[in-house]
């Protein structure tokens, strides 16, 4: 007796596993797209698989043979709609015909009669609350099974066959299947609710990212625009020398070009690789960056001290992105000094042939934890900062084969040490002219 019960339980849980298979696949596939044809096709295929497999592995209880085909039939019809319902009914009848079961015509009439209940339930099922859906699914399965039982048994074996002990066992199975069907809807709806919440969280995160990127783009674009505004004011001064006028005009145009490049950088934020590699004269670039930061530093009452060596310093990379990275670091350093201090810029070569750039301030400084998180997305030491500007700057430096070291103490200031591989600079035009042979 114990062995028989164990076998029944084994078959029962096997059938439960079969019919619950679509519940863990369909919501994830449904999330990929909202197209009608795709979702209905996936629903039909999954519940057809469960339907056929449950019919292939029937159970036997007190002489009555039954399976769980009604559960995928009812659930698939309710969630898939009338088109899926017709498809599942067709699969059921086709597979039963292939199994060569008896009384095929009678069973066809009996099972198709239950389509009337299915069509009535489908119309309003998706509008119901969770517990009403559970009740609707359980009652639909009960009606399908009872309708088929009464019509099939009555037409095949006569009305007297409905009063035997096998019918009592079948009714108990029908009630059990109705409870399983209600549980199926509960789990299915809970899973859909979890996936919906996850999607809402993902959408809110995307909106947050877009807003933060927009704020960071505005922050980065404001840097060159501030410089352009300052130099335009200088261009308006009376008695300005022609040489200075051309110099200011050149810087304005270069800063507008830099603003355009910054926009391009943020459009390709996920791919920060340098697009061009060219020799960069570091002495000239440091002097240029100092001039760019000068107007902003004066406005913040900050002094800029620039120290360069007489030796040529050359690295390779994208000149405009290199400017963007160092200007962003320099501007952050100026803001960290809260209206008073000295920003120190310097570059020199070391014994190993590498180029070392130092950017130091005597501002508020950072803790060890802040240094660790610096350069990560959306982390900033500033109250309204987004951190994206620093992240892009660090990405540019690293893609130029550069290394970044940060030393800082609270209240003492911060020093950035940027190390790049040095290269041999291009030959100067004057030197090239001297090497030309002298004409006799």
At which residue do the structure tokens 């570091």 appear? 282
Q: Are residues 50 and 183 in the same domain?
A: yes
Mean pLDDT over residues 413-423, rounded? 93
Q: Are residues 174 and 294 in the same domain?
A: no
Q: pLDDT per residue over 320-378, tens digit each?
A: 889 988 998 999 899 889 878 999 999 998 888 899 999 999 988 998 888 888 877 65
User: Does a structural domain hold residue 216?
Assistant: no
Q: Are residues 122 and 26 in the same domain?
A: yes
Domain that holds residue 111: 1-201
At which residue do the structure tokens 């020398």 appear? 241
User: Does a structural domain hold residue 152?
Assistant: yes
CB 17 within 8 A of CB 49: no
Q: How many CB atoms lie within 10 A of CB 103?
A: 13
Look up the CATH number of the domain holding residue 28: 1.10.1760
Q: Are residues 190 and 311 in the same domain?
A: no
Q: How many CB atoms lie within 10 A of CB 346?
A: 15
User: Does a structural domain hold residue 232?
Assistant: no
Q: Are residues 154 and 39 in the same domain?
A: yes
Percent of the chain with pLDDT over 70: 82
| CA torsion, ordered 157, 160, 163, 166, to nearest 10 deg | -20
CB 226 within 8 A of CB 296: yes
Q: Is 153 left (phi over 0), alpha (psi -120 to 50) or beta?
A: alpha
Look up the CATH number of the domain holding residue 315: 3.30.565.10
Q: Are residues 406 and 292 in the same domain?
A: yes
- Single residue among 151, 182, 201 that ends a domain in this structure: 201
Whole-angstrom distance, CA of residue 380 vs CA of residue 278? 31
User: What pLDDT score was predicted for residue 13?
Assistant: 76
CB 14 within 8 A of CB 67: no
User: Does a structural domain hold residue 435?
Assistant: no
Q: pLDDT per residue over 158-196, tens digit each?
A: 776 666 657 777 888 889 889 999 999 999 888 888 878
- Single residue among 139, 169, 201 that ends a domain in this structure: 201
Q: Are residues 176 and 298 in the same domain?
A: no
- Single residue among 182, 201, 220 that ends a domain in this structure: 201
User: Does a structural domain hold residue 90?
Assistant: yes
CB 353 within 8 A of CB 425: no
| The total number of structural domains that make up the chain | 2
């Amino acid at each position: 007796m114990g062995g028989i019960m164990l076998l029944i339980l084994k078959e029962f849980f096997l059938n439960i596993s079969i019919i619950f298979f679509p519940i863990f696949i369909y919501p994830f596939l449904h999330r990929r797209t909202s197209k009608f044809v795709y979702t209905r096709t996936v629903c039909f295929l999954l519940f057809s698989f469960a339907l056929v497999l449950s019919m292939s592995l029937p159970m036997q209880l007190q002489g009555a043979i039954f399976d769980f085909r009604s559960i995928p039939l009812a659930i698939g019809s309710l969630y898939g709609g009338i088109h899926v319902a017709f498809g599942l009914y067709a699969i059921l009848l086709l597979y039963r015909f292939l199994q060569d079961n008896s009384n095929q015509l009678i069973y066809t009439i009996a099972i198709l009669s239950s389509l009337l209940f299915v069509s009535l339930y489908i119309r309003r099922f998706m509008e119901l609350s969770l517990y009403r859906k559970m009740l609707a699914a359980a009652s639909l399965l009960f009606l399908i099974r009872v309708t088929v039982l009464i019509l099939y048994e009555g037409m095949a074996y006569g009305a007297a066959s409905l009063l035997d002990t096998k019918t009592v066992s079948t009714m108990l199975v029908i009630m059990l299947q109705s409870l399983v069907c209600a549980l199926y809807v509960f789990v299915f709806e809970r899973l859909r609710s979890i996936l919906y919440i996850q999607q809402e969280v993902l959408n809110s995160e995307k909106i947050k990212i877009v807003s933060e990127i927009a704020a960071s783009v505005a922050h980065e674009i404001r840097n060159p625009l501030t410089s352009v505004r300052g130099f335009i004011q200088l261009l308006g001064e009376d008695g300005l020398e022609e040489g200075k006028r051309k110099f200011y005009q050149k810087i304005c145009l270069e800063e507008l070009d830099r603003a355009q490049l910054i926009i391009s950088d943020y459009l390709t934020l996920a791919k920060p690789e340098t697009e061009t590699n060219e020799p960069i004269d570091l002495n000239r670039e440091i002097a240029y960056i100092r001039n760019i930061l000068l107007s902003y530093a004066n406005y913040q009452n900050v002094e800029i001290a620039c120290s360069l060596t007489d030796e040529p310093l050359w690295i390779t990379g994208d000149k405009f992105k290199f400017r963007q990275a160092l200007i962003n670091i320099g501007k952050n350093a100026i803001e960290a000094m809260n209206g008073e201090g000295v920003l120190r810029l310097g570059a020199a070569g070391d014994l190993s042939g590498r180029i070392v750039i130092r950017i130091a301030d005597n501002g508020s400084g950072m803790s060890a934890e802040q240094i660790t998180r610096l350069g990560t997305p959306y982390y900033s030491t500033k109250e309204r900062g987004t951190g994206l500007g620093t992240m892009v700057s660090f990405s540019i430096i690293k893609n130029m084969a550069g290394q970044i070291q940060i030393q800082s103490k609270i209240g003492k200031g911060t020093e950035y040490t940027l190390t790049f591989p040095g290269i041999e600079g291009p030959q100067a035009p004057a030197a090239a002219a001297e090497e030309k042979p002298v004409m006799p």
